[in-house]
Amino acid sequence: MTAPSPPGVTQLLKAWGNGEQQALDQLIPLVYTELHRLAHRYMQRERSAHLLQPTALVHEAYERLVNLKDVSWQNRAHFFGVSAQLMRRILVDYARSRRYSKRGGEWRQVPLNEAVAVFRDRRTDIVALDDALHTLAGIDPRKSSVVEMRFFGGLSIKEVAEVLKVSQETVLRDWRLARVWLLRELSKGTADED
Amino acid sequence: MKTDRWRQIEQLYHEAREREPGERDRFLREACADETVRAEVESLLGCESQAEGYLETPALEVTAEALAEGRERSMFGRMLGRYEIVGFLGAGGMGEVYRARDSSIARDVAVKVLPPGIAADPERLRLFEQEARAAGGINHPNILTIYDVGVQDGAPYVVYELLEGTTLRDVLRKGALSRRKALEYARQIAYGLAAAHDAGITHRDLKPENLFITRDGRVKILDFGLAKLTLREASTERDTSEAASSSQNGAGSVLGTPGYMAPEQLRGGIVDHRSDLFNLGAVLFEMLTGRRPFRGSSTSEILEAVLNDDPLEIGETGGEVDPALARLLRRCLEKNPNERIQSALDLGFDLEGFLLPYQETPRARWKKPAIGMAFAAAVLSLVLLFAIRKLESMQSDRGPRFRRLTYRAGVITGARFAPDGQSVIYSAAWDGRPVEAFTTRIGGPETRPLGLPSTGVLAVSSAGELAVSLGCELNWAECRGTLARMPLAGGAPREVLQDVYYADWSPDGKNLAVVRAVDGRFRLEYPIGRVLYEAAGWITHPRLSPKGDRIAFLDHPTLGENDGSVSVVDLSGHKTTLSTAWKNLKGLAWSPGGDEVWFSADRMTRSQFVYAVTLSGRERLVLQAPGWMRLQEISRDGRVLLLQASPRGRIMCEAAGAAAERDLSWFDWSTAAGLSADGKKLLFYEWGEGVAGNPTVYLRDTAGGDAIRLGEGRALALSPDGKFALALQKGPPPTLVLLPTGPGEEKRLATSGLKEYYSATWFPGGKRILFVAAGADAQPRSYIQDIDGGTARAIGDETMQAVLVSPDERLLAGIGSDGGYVLRSIDGGETRPIRGALPGDDLIQWSADGRFLYMRAPGDSPLDFFRVNLATGRREPWKRIDAGDPVGLIGIQPAAVYMTPDGKSYAYSYWKTLTELYLVDNLK
């Protein structure tokens, strides 16, 4: 189904997971390539609604980045976790550099008449979210990880459960509470941040 | 670390969540004594309804979308080869499409930028260029014309003609088409395909997204030859056949929309021109019924149906049933290519048959012309006629005698005598419609269309053959299109050469001289292919001498400017300049004896008379008359065809409370410069003949009444209290001045060494102005200047060109360094993009409450105003205005559209011209 992932992603991920920081330099361009590929597709989709199924595309991109075929079964969970961290790190840096992030909470103001869904949080402030996640990690590290894996890593509830070795029900509960907590935190942030 | 308190909050939250909203309060009160904990849980529960869907879009997608938006902006202003991106047009299956300006000949084109992947592989790049060039070689009015291909920064691009119109997909969104339209479009597509198939090229991805309907109803097939590449692109991402047959989620994205593709395409079988016919059958089915011929609730079901099921019958979809048409559709949608209709040409003929009942016979059209007369033009011409009569009576009986040949309102692009000298063939855009060719008999009232829509007349040969410009695109009342020749007696035009600006026949009617641009340079060729002269600027109006031994033409040193010389070149390419330093040069013809070249021009700006020059360079004035006199042709017996043109710059305005738009134009060349906040006063300037070319500022009540002259200069903006007009005087050095609208003295502002000014506006407080200007380094910067003295102060760095000030004077809106619109605090700091505003939009006004920006979407007509909510980035349609009278409309004047802060009044300026054709006897 999917094409082979770029050579060496898994090795690089392993290396990075083992603390080799140079591996990151090689991983970043790979993630960026996917990012640009996706962005290109979005530009197409914006203008011809029927063209693409975004979820499938993103899924494909994640799969390409984290190809787990050649990772032994035992290591699978570990790599899910590592790749989510990696994505978080790269995307947050990227958001910082591009200054796409605005003050939080803007996602609520996306007009309701957008055809796609009730709303799409396309304007999620990734930098602010990252800060809030750090705060959440101080209170409840597992919930922070759940968000990291779901939002940054693109993992399903089932996959997150596999990584954390807890039940899917627990992940779902964590995910629910973490979201309202973050949401409230970020809308607070608009008022008192610089 | 997890505290007990947090654990308690978590537990209570989940327990409360499981209860009905109405019971939650009671539950919490009972379950929890700690008020702070309870408040925390309540506050979290309060966010719940908003959290639905939150963070469900993965970060990679969020970032990619932001990047996608950013990229649209960042392309603006970039150069791809010699093409400068000036706007975003859309995105399709193979890449983004931008509006671009061809810097070498100052014409706008469309540029499609393809994904960089293609260029990475030399083999694919070669294939891409080969395909694009092959497709570009197909010369057919129903196939998009490709001008150029190239690669920039690893991304290949294709340059093609800029079309106005919409895709068939957009048309189909509104449902089925009328039977006649559906058949007509299908016929055009069939003929386009026939031409391509003839050249050995198949399309492979024909679908409504790839079919473009131009404003004048012509179908253009897009993306020829690119489909093959799309499939290759796709196959590197996933296995094509597998995706097509099994996947439900993304197959459509890479392979085109399923339901148009032929079974052999889906199976990965041999694909040939007959697959295109299946595609066309599916498209025709949808045009007729609004539905696709194969149904299914998922992609795989649709694919399944295409492979195995019979198509729906037209009748099943509720449309009217015509057995013959249903049969034709079935023949297109046959699964086995061998049983399918075999050729696009046959299909075209069959469709033609269905269209017969709709067709007007030429005879029926014949009887109409008198009804089509436009009286608006007649009024204008009365003035001229009066003037001409007077001129006539002052001269002797042997003076020129004018006979008017056209009466309808619009623009004539060219006129020539028929070989018998008794008829005139001309092309005109009447009543705001596309250009069409007509013939009229001198002395008779009848005018007959030649049945050639979108066609301009270039020349008529002595043997009775026409040289025409197919697909004529108007550019200041002249045609550019595909050169074709056709017998005047009737018959289909035969295409000769693309992108021809001018053409003329040799005296024997065998060869053509043409002016066209090749690789961005204008050249005169005679016969076609043999370059006699290549210009640094551009060339217009080539005419062969009566003996056919030389060609006279107008030689313009600067592209797009009408200044220049009258020159002749002999057949060995030796050029002589006969007369130089002319302005407004347009129109040229040889005197019957071949001893003089006549031409229209003037040595002043903005007027046009007829002059003559001998081959030895002696000039004389032939005719001076009111309006612009444009020479078209001189017959062998010395009669002259002339166009009388009256180009004008107009202002239209609708003030708050007014019932309708009002024409507030004053003299001949009016340009709006601002409205007072209450919409009651209009600031404008004149810069035409009426003021002898010296720009002059005026103020006028929007309810009408006389305009008041305020002083010299180009008006820029009216102060918020309406007491001063800010204007620019030419200098040198160019100087900003304040012209009082009441009693008072003109006041000059310090010039601060600035050389060029781009835009200016007042601060809402009326004490300062904001403007964009450039000094010696030619770098435009934003400046603020007090009107009570002092020099201009550049604001901040060069990251932004500010054009508007918010009502509270705290924010600036303008163009950011990447070409997108941005906001910034007036005190400096970061800029942030204005969401909802796209490059190409016009920034018009800040709303009085500061919450919105009024903008205008690009395009000439209609004018689409919208407002952008600065908090949400939402783009709300505000007003749609059909630009004045479309008859003779040339274009909206840039940066001359205004709206008041309350959004209730607006004014805009546009250019228009009306032309009439005259036959002049006795002109010597």
Q: How many domains does chain B have?
A: 4
Q: How many CB pairs under 8 A join A and B?
A: 175
pLDDT at residue B10, rounded to an integer: 92
Distance from the A40 Cα atom to the nearest Cα atom in chain B, whole angstroms? 6
Please check whether residue B302 lies inside any domain of the structure: yes
Please check whether residue A125 lies inside any domain of the structure: yes
Q: Does B230 touch chain A (CB under 8 A)?
A: no
Please check whether residue A165 lies inside any domain of the structure: yes
**pLDDT averages per 10-residue partition of chain B, 924 residues:** 82 89 86 88 83 78 69 63 75 64 78 65 68 70 82 76 81 86 93 86 84 86 62 35 31 48 79 90 92 76 80 67 84 91 89 75 35 33 39 50 86 91 90 86 80 89 91 74 87 86 93 87 91 88 95 86 89 91 89 93 78 90 84 92 86 87 87 91 87 86 90 92 91 87 89 81 92 77 87 76 88 80 84 81 88 82 84 85 72 79 88 87 86
According to the 3-state scheme, what is the secondary structure of B282-295?
HHHHHHHHCCCCCC
Looking up tokens 């592209």, which residue turns up?
B559
Please check whether residue B114 lies inside any domain of the structure: yes
Please check whether residue A71 lies inside any domain of the structure: no
Question: CATH no. for residue B180?
Answer: 1.10.510.10
Q: What's the domain range around B283?
A: 69-358
What's the Cα-to-Cα distance from B61 to each of A12, B206, B337, B463, rounded to whole Å?
Answer: 23, 30, 42, 66
End of a domain among B323, B358, B393? B358
Please check whether residue B385 lies inside any domain of the structure: no
Tens of pLDDT, residue by residue over B408-422, are 888 899 999 998 888
**What is the rounded average pLDDT of the residues A92-97?**
69
Question: Are B652 and B626 in a shared domain?
Answer: no
Please check whether residue A183 lies inside any domain of the structure: yes
ipTM: 0.76
The per-residue DSSP string of B166-198 comes to EEHHHHHHT-PPPHHHHHHHHHHHHHHHHHHHH
Asked if B53 lies within 8 A of A117 by C-beta distance, the reply is yes
Contact of B561 with B537, CB cutoff 8 Å: yes
**What is the rounded average pLDDT of the residues A153-176?**
89
Nearest residue in A to B209, CA atom: A48
Nearest residue in A to B40, CA atom: A181
Contact of B603 with B583, CB cutoff 8 Å: yes
Distance from the A139 Cα atom to the nearest Cα atom in chain B, whole angstroms? 5
Going by C-beta distance under 8 Å and a sequence separation of 6 or more, which residues neighbour residue A7? none
Asked if A109 lies within 8 A of B62 by C-beta distance, the reply is no
Q: Does B91 touch chain A (CB under 8 A)?
A: yes
Higher model confidence: residue A18 or residue B273? B273
Question: Are B114 and B29 in a shared domain?
Answer: no
Going by C-beta distance under 8 Å and a sequence separation of 6 or more, which residues neighbour residue B807? B764, B846, B847, B848, B849, B850, B901
Question: Are B283 and B420 in a shared domain?
Answer: no
Cross-strand pairs, B759: B772
Please check whether residue B867 lies inside any domain of the structure: yes
Please check whether residue A134 lies inside any domain of the structure: yes
**What is the rounded average pLDDT of the residues A188-193?**
46
Question: Are B703 and B583 in a shared domain?
Answer: no
pLDDT at residue B368, rounded to an integer: 32
Confidence label for A92 from pLDDT (cuts 50, 70 and 90):
confident
pLDDT at residue A121, rounded to an integer: 35
Asked if B45 lies within 8 A of A180 by C-beta distance, the reply is yes
Q: Does A99 touch chain B (CB under 8 A)?
A: yes
Question: Are B582 and B660 in a shared domain?
Answer: no
Question: Are B534 and B658 in a shared domain?
Answer: no
Structure tokens at B150: 């190239």
Question: Are B528 and B493 in a shared domain?
Answer: yes
pLDDT at residue B135, rounded to an integer: 67
Asked if A119 lies within 8 A of B53 by C-beta distance, the reply is yes
Question: Are B46 and B113 in a shared domain?
Answer: no
Question: CATH no. for residue A129?
Answer: 1.10.10
CA–CA distance, B380 with B872 (Å, rounded to integer):
50
Asked if B63 lies within 8 A of A184 by C-beta distance, the reply is no
Query: Which residues of chain B from 60 to 89 reach within 8 Å of chain A, CB to CB?
Result: 60-68, 70-72
Cross-strand pairs, B785: B769
Amino acid symbol at A156 = S
Nearest CB to B60; choose among A38, A107, A109: A38
Q: Give me the count of residues in chain A.
A: 194
Q: How many domains does chain A have?
A: 1
N-to-C CA span, chain B: 103
Please check whether residue B387 lies inside any domain of the structure: no
Q: Does A41 touch chain B (CB under 8 A)?
A: yes
Please check whether residue A57 lies inside any domain of the structure: no
Amino acid symbol at B400 = P
Contacts of B75 in chain A (CB under 8 A): none
Q: Are strands B478-487 and B465-475 parallel, antiparallel or unpaired?
A: antiparallel
Query: Which residues of chain B from 98 to 127 reach within 8 Å of chain A, CB to CB?
Result: 115
Question: CATH no. for residue B521?
Answer: 2.120.10.30
Contact of B639 with B919, CB cutoff 8 Å: yes
Question: Are B532 and B612 in a shared domain?
Answer: yes
Please check whether residue B381 lies inside any domain of the structure: no
pTM over 0.90: no
Please check whether residue B918 lies inside any domain of the structure: no
Amino acid symbol at B206 = L
Higher model confidence: residue A112 or residue A188? A188
pLDDT at residue B184, rounded to an integer: 92
pLDDT at residue B389, rounded to an integer: 39
pLDDT at residue B846, rounded to an integer: 92
Question: Are B158 and B250 in a shared domain?
Answer: yes
pLDDT at residue B96, rounded to an integer: 67
Please check whether residue A82 lies inside any domain of the structure: no
Q: Does A126 touch chain B (CB under 8 A)?
A: yes
Please check whether residue A5 lies inside any domain of the structure: no
Q: What's the domain range around A169?
A: 105-194
Tens of pLDDT, residue by residue over B580-637, are 888 888 899 999 999 999 999 987 656 788 999 999 888 888 988 777 889 999 998 8
Question: Are B202 and B272 in a shared domain?
Answer: yes
Please check whether residue B63 lies inside any domain of the structure: no
pLDDT at residue A194, rounded to an integer: 36
Question: Are B679 and B732 in a shared domain?
Answer: yes
Give the residue ranges of DSSP H helices in chain A: 9-17, 22-47, 54-65, 76-98, 126-139, 141-147, 157-164, 168-192
Tens of pLDDT, residue by residue over B98-149, are 778 887 776 788 887 765 555 566 666 676 676 666 666 677 888 888 788 7
Q: How many CB atoms lie within 10 A of CB B877?
A: 10
Q: Which of A27, A53, A86, A152 to mutate to test the interface with B (most CBs of B within 10 A)?
A: A53
Element (H, E) at B62: helix B59-74
